[in-house]
């Protein structure tokens, strides 16, 4: 009578162990970024000097740094701003988007591997309906949350705890972060170009006004999306 219960007990134990590892990983990541010398390298000057040494590989190194940073709870706005300041508006946008996608995928897989089993064991009948709904409407759910600027890194790990399919998550993320990423990198990159050129007359150029307008507009995107969703 006891033998049939061994597998479920073993599975539950494994889920708890992985969940503990998951929590320890998150705590260690946050502590490392805030209480070690790593934080001193997260400036445009320090990171720029480091990437100069990478030569032609600088974009690849930056994208990997961005991806690792996402998994270590480094604020996405900081990483994005650094990319725009170092590489400019257009290349910065490309490298930021790729780095963010790699980091989002890695964080999702960490959450799915270490936390999903334990999360599933805690889900009751009521929460299971929401979990099933996320699985059925994964792409739309992820896209909506990205467009309303749901905190990037917590969402990466959190979605890994749900039943959302990986490719739905990845597609929703990829499409959902394009607008915000472009607006922010274009704004920072444009100001960086003016600063480095020393041509302060460009501050009243169409490009600068356009970048400022896009930046201001980005703050209204969540409200617009919510209003459209509410009307439907």
pLDDT at 5: 47
Query: Rg of the Cα trace of the chain?
Result: 21
Instruction: Write the pLDDT tens digit of every residue in 9-60.
Output: 666 788 888 889 988 998 998 888 777 887 777 787 888 888 888 889 999 9
* pLDDT at residue 6 greater than cutoff 60: no
pLDDT at 211: 67
What does residue 217 show for φ and ψ, rounded to 5 degrees?
-60, -35
List the domain boundaries for the chain: 3-231
- For residue 92, pLDDT over 80 is answered with yes
Residue 4 has pLDDT above 60, yes or no: no
User: Phi, psi (5° rounding) for residue 201?
Assistant: -65, -25
pLDDT of 183 strictly over 80: yes
Up-side HSE of residue 220: CA atoms within 13 Å toward CB? Answer: 6
How confident is the model over 90-119, as a mean pLDDT? 92
Q: 231 or 154: whose pLDDT is higher?
A: 154
Among candidate residues 19, 109, 103, 32, the one with its CA nearest the CA of residue 67? 103
Overall pTM > 0.85: no
Which is more confidently placed, 206 or 78? 78
129 vs 62, more confident: 62
CB 133 within 8 A of CB 106: no
Please compute the mean of the pLDDT values over residues 90-101 and round it to a whole number: 94
Name the residue with higher pLDDT: 192 or 176: 176
CB proximity list for 144: less than 8 A, separation 6 or greater: 176, 225, 229
């Amino acid at each position: 009578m006891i033998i049939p219960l061994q597998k479920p007990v073993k599975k539950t134990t494994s889920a708890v162990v992985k969940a503990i590892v998951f929590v320890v990983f998150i705590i260690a990541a946050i502590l490392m970024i805030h209480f070690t010398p790593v934080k001193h390298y997260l400036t445009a000057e320090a990171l720029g000097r480091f990437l100069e040494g990478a030569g032609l590989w600088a974009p690849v190194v930056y994208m990997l740094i961005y991806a690792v940073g996402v998994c270590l709870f480094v604020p996405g706005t900081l990483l994005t701003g650094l990319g725009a300041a170092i590489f400019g508006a257009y290349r910065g946008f490309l490298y930021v988007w790729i780095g963010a996608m790699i980091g989002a995928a890695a964080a999702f897989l960490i959450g799915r591997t270490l936390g999903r089993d334990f999360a599933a064991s805690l889900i009751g009948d009521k929460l299971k309906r929401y979990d099933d709904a996320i699985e059925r409407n994964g792409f739309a759910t992820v896209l909506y949350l990205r467009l309303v600027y749901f905190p990037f890194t917590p969402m990466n790990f959190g979605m890994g705890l749900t039943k959302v399919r990986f490719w739905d998550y990845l597609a929703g993320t990829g499409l959902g972060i394009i607008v915000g990423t472009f607006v922010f990198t274009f704004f920072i990159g444009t100001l960086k170009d003016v600063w480095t050129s020393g041509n302060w007359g460009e501050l009243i150029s169409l490009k600068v006004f356009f970048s400022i307008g896009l930046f201001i507009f980005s703050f209204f995107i969540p409200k617009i999306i919510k209003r459209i969703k509410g009307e439907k």
